[in-house]
Amino acid sequence: MKKAWWKESVVYQIYPRSFYDSNGDGIGDINGIIQKLDYLKELGVDVIWLSPVYQSPNDDNGYDISNYQAIMKEFGTMTDWEKLLEEIHQRDMKLMMDLVVNHSSDEHQWFIESRKSKDNAYRDYYIWRPGKEGKEPNNWKSTFSGSAWEYDSETDEYYLHIFSKKQPDLNWENEKLRDEIYSMMRWWLDKGIDGFRMDVINFISKVPELPDAPNPNGEPYVSGSRFFKNGPRIHDYLQEVHQEVLSKYEVMTVGEMPGVDVEEAKKYTNPERNELNMVFQFEHMDLDSGPGGKWDLKPLDLRDLKSNITKWQTGLHGVGWNSLYLNNHDQPRVVSRFGNDTTYRVESAKMLATFLHMLQGTPYIYQGEEIGMTNVKFASINDYRDIEILNMYKEKVLDRQENHDQVMQSIYVKGRDNARTPFQWNNKPNGGFTTGEPWINVNSNYKEINAEAAVADPKSIFHYYRKLIKLRKQHPIIVYGDYQLMHPEDKESFTYLRTLGEEKLLVITNFTEKEITWNVPGNLEFKAKKILISNYANRNLSELKNLTLKPYEAIVYLGE
């Protein structure tokens, strides 16, 4: 397998609004990030992925960009950003910027022009259609509730917005628009950045007819995603991005792709096709959702996680490359989700980290994951800030009179604000995130869970992550070894074997809060030589033949 720096890297995602506030206005900022770079260096990560810091009216916290070449005032200035890049590079780390070009903000100059008249030079930068019998052009639903179309009386037409109505979709069919995007990307790359994370990039090619989606239950609006996920020209566009932009730089790319399957992902990430390095797939994040989607809660069956991870591990092996994640700014905290955020918070956070970091692919750590930050429960809907949560609540509780408590429960389990509460730096007020009033409340557990305490405690989750990252640097098998699942039917433990040449790595994890007996798999040929890492003390090699796993235990054996 071809080696590459981005295969050997560990990425850390910063959601700037919630990371560290240096000026007391309650909002994280760029200078705040600079002040915390030594903390990230100590953790040992190689690359920082920075969620959007561009000018934005913040309808969707920066994922609605009104100027791609300016910095959001609340976050600082371009000079601050340049200093950030320099300070990151000085510490031998890299910076990956977020690229949000499926849509812009409705306050972007392009859209302001576009909506003026049907013959405006920018009209065709967006997707406009006349209504159908006095209604929207089709029945697509927005990801953030309601119709995916907004009527504009100025020209008596509707524009498409897969996300909020302040996030109009850009029209990639338009070559001039594509050229503008490419020159903007080159402008950032020429400033010296090291890559892009591309927001919902597999949505940019729509089926041109924009047909109605099947609607057997007669819903007001339904998902039209089959007509824009991995659409007809998507691979042409990405190859063009590569040719016009990426091929000229030595950078890292990851495409965020809801609805991508392994077969499509092979195309996106096969280096011979010149598209992207890797994708963020969502299948493993959908395993605890019922047929009603994200808010339809369902417990995880570990066998589903096993078969899914195995499909991706073996599917992309030797063809493309996996990204590995359990958290980001759109997902609830994994320790609350697949672990236990009370009695076994520390053990289960370490177990989940072991499970993820020993797989093949590039691991991503989301801010706060490395100290085991947990989900939050705000008593009132008014304490939530996320547009997805607020629109969903309004639609279900206020418009359709669904049960308030049930909807709140689904927000507690799945809401995006779980990941967006301020980073907990210390046990001072607001977790040391700000000296002002934070834009969203801090999680009340900050006195116990915070970075200062974690750094001071050699047994903390933080130091465990440090070790995992170090091991990746020392053992090429962690990066390049192939993968084999053991015990596919076991509902409690997840065991897999990695192999590189003569060397083998046996990764054993208990996903339950019980003690369980672990049987040596019949098909396992393995001679253990060393325990690389484990989350309970005093494990020794000889126990492997007769192993009882403690709650959320994880053990990694190196051998042959």
d(CA 548, CA 556): 15
CB of residue 16 vs ligand NOJ: minimum separation in angstroms? 13
Q: Rule CB under 6 A: choose which of 21, 199, 341, 369 binds ligand NOJ.
A: 199
Residue with tokens 């007391």: 24
Whichever of 170 and 554 has its CB closer to ligand NOJ, that residue is 170
- Give catalytic residues, as residue numbers: 199, 256
Residue number, nearest CB to ligand NOJ: 63
CB of residue 203 vs ligand NOJ: minimum separation in angstroms? 9
Using left for φ > 0, alpha for ψ between -120 and 50, and beta otherwise, residue 358 falls in alpha
Residue 369 in the binding site for ligand NOJ (CB under 6 A)? no
Whichever of 368 and 559 has its CB closer to ligand NOJ, that residue is 368
Q: Rule CB under 6 A: choose which of 34, 65, 200, 554 binds ligand NOJ.
A: 200
Residue 295 in the binding site for ligand NOJ (CB under 6 A)? no
Q: 80 CB contacts (<8 Å, ≥6 apart)?
A: 29, 30, 31, 34, 71
- At position 477, the amino acid (one-letter code) is I
Say whether 133 sits in a helix, a strand or coil: coil
d(CA 147, CA 131): 13
Question: Residue 31 belongs to what H/E stretch?
Answer: helix 30-35
The site string for ligand NOJ over 37-56 (x = CB under 6 A, - otherwise) reads --------------------
Q: Which residues within the stretch 242-261 sit at the binding site for ligand NOJ (CB under 6 A)? A: 256
Q: Are the C-beta atoms of residues 312 and 356 closer than 8 Å to each other?
A: no
Q: Which long-range contacts (CB under 8 A, 24 or more apart) does 319-322 make?
A: 319/266, 319/269, 319/270, 320/265, 320/266, 320/268, 320/269, 320/270, 320/271, 320/278, 321/7, 321/269, 321/277, 321/278, 321/361, 321/362, 322/278, 322/359, 322/360, 322/361, 322/362
The site string for ligand NOJ over 460-489 (x = CB under 6 A, - otherwise) reads ------------------------------
- If DSSP states are collapsed to H, E and C, what string results for 235-284? HHHHHHHHHHCHHHCCCEEEEECCCCCHHHHHHHHCHHHCCCCEEECCHH
- At position 539, the amino acid (one-letter code) is R
Whichever of 256 and 347 has its CB closer to ligand NOJ, that residue is 256
Residue 72 in the binding site for ligand NOJ (CB under 6 A)? no
Pairing of β 278-280 and β 252-256: parallel
Whichever of 104 and 460 has its CB closer to ligand NOJ, that residue is 104
Extract the tokens encoding 71. 């910095």
CB of residue 100 vs ligand NOJ: minimum separation in angstroms? 6
d(CA 154, CA 392): 29
Whichever of 97 and 454 has its CB closer to ligand NOJ, that residue is 97
Q: Which residues within the stretch 489-548 sit at the binding site for ligand NOJ (CB under 6 A)? A: none
Q: Rule CB under 6 A: choose which of 30, 43, 99, 100 binds ligand NOJ.
A: 100
Q: Rule CB under 6 A: choose which of 15, 63, 128, 295 binds ligand NOJ.
A: 63
Binding-site size for ligand NOJ (CB under 6 A) equals 9
Residue 12 in the binding site for ligand NOJ (CB under 6 A)? no
Whichever of 199 and 369 has its CB closer to ligand NOJ, that residue is 199
Q: Are the C-beta atoms of residues 388 and 420 closer than 8 Å to each other?
A: no
Say whether 191 sits in a helix, a strand or coil: coil
The site string for ligand NOJ over 156-175 (x = CB under 6 A, - otherwise) reads -------x------------
Residue 59 in the binding site for ligand NOJ (CB under 6 A)? no
The site string for ligand NOJ over 427-446 (x = CB under 6 A, - otherwise) reads --------------------
**What is residue 206's DSSP assignment?**
-
What are residue 493's DSSP bridge partners?
510
DSSP alpha helix (H) spans, 415-538: 451-456, 461-474, 476-480
Q: Rule CB under 6 A: choose which of 21, 60, 169, 347 binds ligand NOJ.
A: 60
Whichever of 365 and 469 has its CB closer to ligand NOJ, that residue is 365
Whichever of 63 and 446 has its CB closer to ligand NOJ, that residue is 63
What are residue 59's DSSP bridge partners?
none
CB of residue 330 vs ligand NOJ: minimum separation in angstroms? 5
Q: Rule CB under 6 A: choose which of 59, 106, 157, 330 binds ligand NOJ.
A: 330
Question: Which residues of this chain interact with ligand NOJ, rule CB under 6 A?
Answer: 60, 63, 100, 163, 199-200, 256, 329-330
